[in-house]
Amino acid sequence: MWKQAEEIKAFRYILNIRESKTLKGKYRFLIQLNPDRAQCRRAPESITSTLQSFSPIGFNFTKLTQQEILFDIGNGDTNDIVAINASPLEQSHCLLLTERLKCLPQIMTEYSLRKVIELCLLSNLWSLRAAFNGLCAHASVNHLHWHLYYLKYEMLLEYIDVCSYISGIHLLVDYPAKGFCLKLSDFKNIEDFVSRTFLVVNYLQLRRMAHNVYITRAKSKSNDELYNDIRIYIWARKSLIGVKDTTAFIPGVCELFGHLSIRDENMYNNLTEDDVINVLCNITEEYFLLIKDELKIILKK
């Protein structure tokens, strides 16, 4: 269906990743040259607060054309749908829009989290990823949505070692973007997995702290062939206020995961692992250390 939408020119541009490479070094960051995303995408909304209300002025997802809607995952009233992302980052880049007609701001709900996990589990493809940019964390549209796309590259965060923290939650510390990790295999059922994950995210929302969330299929060990688990990564991070610069290296949720979309050819040719490490540390480390002890107290209650 995504390909059919491409054929009828429902996108703002035809996806053309000109080059891809893995940066040399410990973390094997994947970088892709995709200049069309900067040049042809819709102008991002100005985000000034993690509590910013939905605004009917300007673009929002109630204004999608029928060509952009792929299918309904609800009761047929187009409230819960999957739609194309008209400015794609990768193959089959879509948006999961839950309770779309309620016009909720880009503040995660437990319902949307459960729906996106259910969608990930319905797929038998290891390369399906889901991602959430919160307000002041590089969200471009202040209307509740998740990103879904296929990334057919083995990524370090599919199996990287994480440290035990508190029941069902781990710490991602041996990595430049320090954050929290939850594994489906640690839980008896999906409901507990969703509930525990949302407890962490909602803590950040109540603290008015910018954050990003990434969901990926995962392996138990690096040399495993089977992707027999799901991991959710949660990062507290430095806020970005205003309209994001789409021509720069934008450290949104995919970049925190290690998947970098680069708009500028010169940057693509010259970016090093140290450059990426410095950016990721700069936006996450201070906030991770700020909440690590406080969050543990909250989670013990």
Catalytic residues: 145
Q: At what angle do helices 273-300 and 190-206 cross, to 10 degrees?
A: 100
CB 70 within 8 A of CB 94: yes
Task: Name beta bridge partners: 84.
Answer: 94
CB 172 within 8 A of CB 284: no
Q: What is the DSSP letter of 242?
A: B
Helix or strand holding residue 146 (H, E): strand 146-150
Structure tokens at 247: 């021509």
| Cβ atoms of 1 and 71 closer than 8 Å | yes
Distance (Å, whole) CA 18 – CA 258: 18
Number of other residues whose CB lies within 10 A of the CB of residue 140: 20
